Chain A
Amino acid sequence: MIPHILLQIVVMPVIASVFIFLTRYKTGRKAGWIAGITLLYTTALLCLVCIRVYQGERIYEEYPFGPMINFNLLADGLSIPVALIMNLCCIVLAFYSIHYVEHRIEIIHGELDERTWLMYYTRFFFLFPFFSTGFMGISFSTNLIAMYFFMELLTIIPLYFIMAQFGYSDFIERYKVALMCLFWGIAGATVFLIGILLAYTTTGSFEISSLSALSGNPAVTWVILCMLLGLFTKLAIFPLHVWMPWVHAEHPTCIAGLLAVYANIAAYVMVRVLILPLYNDFKVFGIPIMAMALITMVYGSLLAMAQNDVKRFAACSTISQISYSVLGLGALTIWSIEGGLFFFLSHIMGKAILFSTAGILVYVTGVRDMREMGGLVSRMPITALLWIMGAMMLSGLPPFSTFAAEWIMFTGIFIFGTHGPSIALAIAILGITAVGLTIAYTFWSIKRIFFGPLKPEFANNDKIRDPPVLMWLPLLLLAVVSIILGLYPKPIMDLFHLVLGSVF
């Protein structure tokens, strides 16, 4: 038995990061591999944990920190699939970044001497593993303050610094957008924290498990409101979504995929912190949440259609897609919640692929405007395949897991709709119709980027071809994972059911 297995999963990336920093001039070029292999190791550990949890075990490790605050870690059926898939996305993007960061540094700084180059290059991989730590921390925390800590960690260390240093645009614009992201992240987390503190005033504890003591208390509405507001900021629910297109567009594309995870993880937090302990008090918020989700779904789709910038396009689609899982959570039935969480996982896989493929397009062609692309399929067939797969994943087409997730989720939404108030049924029907909009904009983008005649400036350019293997193979493997989960979702749904089935 491996000791402190969950702690290892959370801390190993940080150790790798420190190692990369200390040996930056010696092993500098291998930094990406070090980060990637560390994440592979933690994923292997996650798989072990997953098997044990699947057999019915609950893995719980205690790490007291101070009065009332601790870093206890809990792996159960709810946290382990979420952690596993998020870590998979991190691995894929770590390997993808190996070439991408070289390209970014070249674009930003031009020719550099070896030492300076190594400094920049390792700086990225020094920051990158914190993503994994943050995600794992949020998944496994049992203490609200610990959860808040990991949320802030994510916002400040990897997101802010990577964006500020490796983002697009010129220096000032980059910092500006990074600050904007930081501001929104902190704002969201702070409102969430206010909710935590309000709860604390009543329960006297920061444990998630003690939140259920709030049930029936008049203060609970305020707690839920504050926490929801904080989570909505992260989830980019209309009108709190305005940061998303900016931040996604200016990010280096190799972590833009993780930004979707960063935003969507709040769906998991919502289930863990609000729905599970406070189900009865949370019911009042069901229909308003669904309505807001619906508005955001449609709004995000329309916004995505209006974009010409391939990165902003993906960002707006994230706004729309995240709301799907929120719609599922809002319906508050076991089907829709399990489906909503599954959709969250499927979506981040799809988005990692779509964003990274957008990155490949920018990497190869140097163009971000979809109007200037066209006909690229003849030169970049693998990239086209990846983009089509990403589009299919977003549109919920089988055999990808998004389909299974969408189906399970909408089953719950419709059950709520047919047996609940008629407004819920209307939202359900409008929601499922909005899927049609997703299909329209994703497949339209395929046509715009890859089909039609090849632009003459590309036709004469030999560099327009598929990127190095290390950039596309990890993405393809991620798509395979999604297909496997789509063809046989039973394991993941059984895991969710271990926790949720006992509550509903």
Chain B
Amino acid sequence: MIAAEVAWLCFLFPFAGALLSPVLARIHPGLRDYGALFFSFLAALCSVMFIPYLFHPEKLPLESAFVWLSSPIELKVGVLVDPLSIVMANVVAVISFIIMVYSLGYMKGDPSLARWWMWMNLFIGSMLLLVLSNNLVFLFVGWKMVGLCSWGLIGFYNKDEKKYWIGGPPPTKYTTPSHCGLKAMVVTSAGDVLMLGGILIMYSYARTLNILELYETSSIWLPEMAKSSGMILLMSILLLAGPIGKSAQFPLHEWLPEAMAGPGPVSALIHAATMVKSGVYMVARLIPIFFYGYWVAGCSEASYFFILIAWVGAITALVAATQGMTALELKKALAFSTVSQIGYMMLALGVAGLTISSLEGGFTSGMFHLVNHALFKACLFLCAGSVIHTVHSIYMNDMGSIRKYMPFTWIFMFIAALSLMGVPPLPGFWSKDAVLASTLATHNYPLFLLALITVVITAFYTTRFVGMVFHGRESKNVENLKQKGAHLGEAHRTMVVACGVLAITIIVLGILGLPLEHLLHEGFGYTLIEKLHLPVEHATEMSHLLVPLLSVISVVIGIVPAYLLYFSGKLDPAGMLEKHASLKMLHKFFWNRWYIDSFYYMFFVGGITRLFTSVPRYIENPLDKFFHKIIPSIPGRFYSGGRDILASRYGREEVEGAPAEPVVGTSLGFALLLVLLFIAFYLIAMFIRVWL
């Protein structure tokens, strides 16, 4: 077994790669590309070396740290290796490496490749720092840096050429990549700063930021905190704001659909496989604290943490899925799906604390779904990237029937799509089933119902986008391309290989689904129960078949109408919309994203714009006038020498014609007044001193 120190290398290698990129780019383009790839490979290698530990959870957790700051705050910075961080690090590093291989082909010939590799490696390093850090500050450092990288990568095409715009078609507005980057930065930052507030509230009671110490000492500081009523609730809300922002959960989910303005690999890397998972990771990290607080220390406020995140997850899952049904841009459909699937993970983590028996089940199913989703969503996005690359359009109605041109991409995307729907025996089925089962086990039926409806909708929109892209009728765009003699076929071989590797992994994981779930269950369970001594009652066994049966039935309910509409062509989607006014209204509602985005633009962007435009008018300018015109004019009546001096030198007209004219003379006057005042005070002081 390797030492914990190796975990440092996981993120130091990509950071080194990022720093070296501009240097390597000067030497040789090949060195630049393969050098960047090499560093991300090393990161993946280091992460994989920790997998054996998952089979021996009793040897965990490991820590390696050094004193970074001793006063006024004592902080040891280091790495923490436990089942959670091993799983996360492997998801991040391995999938990132595959995506790096893919981007070798996708980004070929781009003029800003050095910048590209730099951002990508910086991103991978930051994400690994986030998941491996042993303390909340460096977790937050990684957190902020992935945010920054996502800003750089979403707005990668920062010249905002028309071909990179997303949104539309008119009347829906287009958005430029740099706008999308800014939007992501601002929205996620709003969550970030609040989360930092939550961390600091935690620190002010616990006086430590080390994750393990926080767990260990929670029996001391949590009851202390519970003494001031509302404090735990406040901390929960603040702490959850970060994950809700970063993982694009309701109500801070609106940035993710726009984040698709970045190049294809970015969408796969940041907005599907890794970065958006950081919120899930953070929630998972915090669960032991709040679980302890609620079920052991008896702080009733701690339960709000779980209730909040479970409901946020369930609502997000539904809201985003409905939007996915109407999306026209392929990547945006996938983005809505990502938001929705992360909602499942949040739901699972939320239900983990709703009853005393659901901790293991909820925790494991949430993380298991995270792993699976990372794989199939990365595969979907990479395939989508290939398709968009080939047909030169982001809209699904510009594709259609391209299965024959891109057979491999079709197969890979199909496999991933089945997994997304939750078709057995693919991994998506196992983990979604686990999420549903753990939700049902809490007997919280509204949550379960929301989750089940989302399964139906997921099946619908997945079938829809596969049908619209690969089946159905050929679109005009494809015909035009064919006429022009454009190359309609598989993309660059690194792209096909990357997608293939992911698809094969999905199948393997599907076959090994149950053993894998068991392994995670053992690992997490051991850490939570044996190491952290959290109390767990084993639940009464539920009927094994009920949940899978419901889940499969829901999938079928979703697939059938979508198949008729988008595969076989037996029903015409546009015609149906025309015929049923209610359907049309619903479509409009979903297409406009429940009007949440428009509301945010109106309320926040519009509101702040109104605020900052009125600030100069109603506050700054009157203040300016008061200080620079009205006050100086008072002594100016007694002393206008300054003006005369200037006037005699530069002509009276010039001086008097100047707009804020009294300022000149009167500030001289004021200055003189102050000097006199000063002398007077000095004399008085001296006098008092002597006299006393």
Contacts and interface: CB of A to CB of B under 8 A. Distances in A.
A and B: bona fide binding partners: yes
A447 B176 CA distance: 11
B477 interface: no
A428 B235 CA distance: 13
B542 interface: no
A190 B674 CA distance: 7
A473 interface: no
A200 B685 contact: yes
Nearest to A182: B671
B664 A175 contact: yes
B176, B193, B689: residue with the most chain A Cβ atoms closer than 10 Å: B193
Contacts of A392: 148
B72 interface: yes
B361 to A, nearest CB: 34
Given A454-B159, A493-B69, A197 B204 contact: no
Which range holds the interface residue count of chain A?
35 or more
Given A440-B186, A451-B178, A418 B205 contact: yes
B204 A450 contact: no
A303 B159 contact: no
A95 B663 CA distance: 34
Interface in B199-235: 200-201, 203-205, 228, 231
A489 interface: yes
Contacts of B189: 395, 435-436, 439-440
Nearest to B186: A440
Contacts of B603: none
Given A179-B663, A306-B615, A452-B159, A410 B72 contact: no
A353 interface: no
B612 interface: yes
A109 interface: no
Contact of A398 (B67, B145, B627, B678): B145
A140 B201 CA distance: 36
Given A182-B671, A377-B158, A429-B238, A242 B144 contact: no
Interface string B148-172: 1001000100111100000000000
Nearest to A375: B159
Contacts of B530: none
A419 B225 CA distance: 10
A242 B628 contact: yes
Given A172-B664, A187-B674, A411 B182 contact: no
A188 to B, nearest CB: 10
Given A180-B628, A418-B204, A407 B660 contact: no
B683 to A, nearest CB: 10
Given A186-B671, A432-B194, A193 B68 contact: no
A411 B203 contact: yes
Contacts of A201: 685, 688-689, 692
A30 interface: no
A171 interface: yes
Given A200-B689, A440-B186, A451-B159, A303 B667 contact: no
A338 B72 contact: yes
Nearest to A504: B72
B186 A303 contact: no
A103 interface: no
B599 interface: no
Contacts of B528: none
Contacts of A435: 189, 193
B671 A183 contact: yes
Contact of B193 (A190, A335, A433): A433
A198 B677 CA distance: 14
A497 B658 CA distance: 52
Given A375-B159, A408-B72, A403 B141 contact: yes
Contacts of A239: 623
Nearest to A452: B160
Contacts of B615: 299, 302-303, 306
Contacts of A299: 615, 619
B667 A182 contact: yes
B186 A439 contact: yes
Contacts of B200: 410-411, 413-415, 428, 432
B655 interface: yes
B479 interface: no
A476 interface: no
A415 B194 contact: no
Interface in B616-649: 616, 619-620, 623-624, 627-628, 646
B186 A436 contact: yes
B71 interface: yes
A335 B72 contact: yes
B578 interface: no
Interface residues of B, number: 76
Interface string B681-692: 110110011001
Nearest to B687: A201
Contacts of A25: none
Contacts of A179: 663-664, 667-668, 671
Interface in B261-311: none
Nearest to B662: A176
Contacts of B201: 414, 418
B613 interface: yes
Contacts of B193: 432-433, 435-436
Interface string A15-36: 0000000000000000000000
A203 B66 CA distance: 48
A277 B178 CA distance: 51
Contacts of A222: none
A444 B182 contact: yes
Interface string B186-199: 10011011101100
Interface in A449-504: 450-454, 488-490, 493-494, 497, 500-501
Given A175-B664, A176-B660, A451-B159, A193 B678 contact: yes
A37 interface: no
Given A197-B682, A204-B689, A414 B203 contact: yes
Interface string B34-67: 0000000000000000000000000000000001
B71 A493 contact: yes
Contacts of B228: 418
Nearest to A416: B204
Contacts of A242: 620, 623-624, 627-628
A173 B141 contact: no
A399 B675 CA distance: 46
A194 interface: yes
Given A186-B671, A242-B623, A493 B68 contact: no
B137 interface: yes
Contacts of A418: 201, 204-205, 228, 231
A287 interface: no
B574 interface: no
Interface string B61-97: 0000001111111000000000000000000000000
Contacts of A497: 71-72
Interface string A413-430: 111011100000000110
Given A392-B148, A418-B205, 4 more contacts: A176-B658, A197-B682, A375-B159, A454-B159
Enumerate the 6 nearest inter-chain pairs by beta-carbon distance, A residue then B residue, closest first. A451-B178, A414-B200, A497-B71, A305-B612, A197-B685, A183-B667
Interface of B: 67-73, 137, 140-141, 144-145, 148, 151, 155, 158-161, 176, 178-179, 181-182, 185-186, 189-190, 192-194, 196-197, 200-201, 203-205, 228, 231, 238, 608, 611-613, 615-616, 619-620, 623-624, 627-628, 646, 650, 654-655, 658, 660, 663-664, 667-668, 670-671, 674-675, 677-678, 681-682, 684-685, 688-689, 692
27 contacts: A172-B646, A175-B664, A179-B663, A180-B667, A182-B671, A187-B674, A190-B674, A197-B685, A201-B692, A242-B620, A243-B627, A299-B619, A305-B612, A306-B615, A334-B72, A335-B72, A398-B141, A398-B145, A407-B196, A410-B197, A414-B197, A414-B203, A414-B204, A432-B193, A432-B196, A440-B186, A494-B71
